[in-house]
Amino acid sequence: MINGGIDNLGLFQFEAKELAAQIFLNDKPGKILGDQLTARLCEEVGELARAVRRFGCHRIGHPDEKPGTTDEVIDEIGDVLFLTARIAELCDVKLSEAAGKVIIKLEQRMRERQKGCT
Ligand SMILES: [Mg+2]
């Protein structure tokens, strides 16, 4: 068990894979599992959206809802990360590669935007 968090995406993906193999014994690799994991991810993204909507000074949830907490947001982000790691593993993709690619893409977009402003 890791108490202080994980800063390494490769380690996180490995831990998620190991734990999933021990917990979800009926999950077998294949297209159906991909669909199931994607559906679960959508559900968790919805839970994250609800937690964020109720959170702190950015709160936009219903006035009668109790305010959200940092712990709820952390829990839901963790659920999203876990399912994302499982989907990455199923598709033989490294989370670290995906993270690197999105940073490169965003840096490129920023450079193009800066060029457009000159
Ligand atoms: Mg959740």
Smallest Cα–Cα separation from 81: which of 35, 33, 12, 4?
A: 12
Å from CA of 52 to ligand 1 middle:
12
d(CA 55, CA 39): 25
| Per-residue model confidence as pLDDT tens digits over 58-100 | 666 667 777 889 999 999 999 999 999 999 999 999 999 999 9
pTM for the model: 0.86
Residues in CB range of 69: below 8 A, 6 or more apart: 55
| Per-domain residue ranges of the chain | 13-93
Fold of 13-93: Helix Hairpins (1.10.287)
Contact 47, 75 (CB under 8 A): no
Contact 19, 79 (CB under 8 A): no
Residue 58 has a pLDDT of 62
Residue 118 has a pLDDT of 58
Residue 65 has a pLDDT of 74
Å from CA of 79 to ligand 1 middle:
5
Residue 66 has a pLDDT of 79
DSSP-assigned letters across all residues of 93-114: --HHHHHHHHHHHHHHHHHHHH
Å from CA of 44 to ligand 1 middle:
5
Å from CA of 82 to ligand 1 middle:
10
Å from CA of 96 to ligand 1 middle:
23
| Per-residue model confidence as pLDDT tens digits over 21-69 | 999 999 888 779 999 999 999 999 999 998 988 887 666 666 777 788 9
Contact 38, 26 (CB under 8 A): no
pLDDT greater than 80 at residue 2:
no
Residue 67 has a pLDDT of 81
Q: Please, which residues have CB less than 5 A from ligand 1, an ion?
A: 44, 47, 76, 79
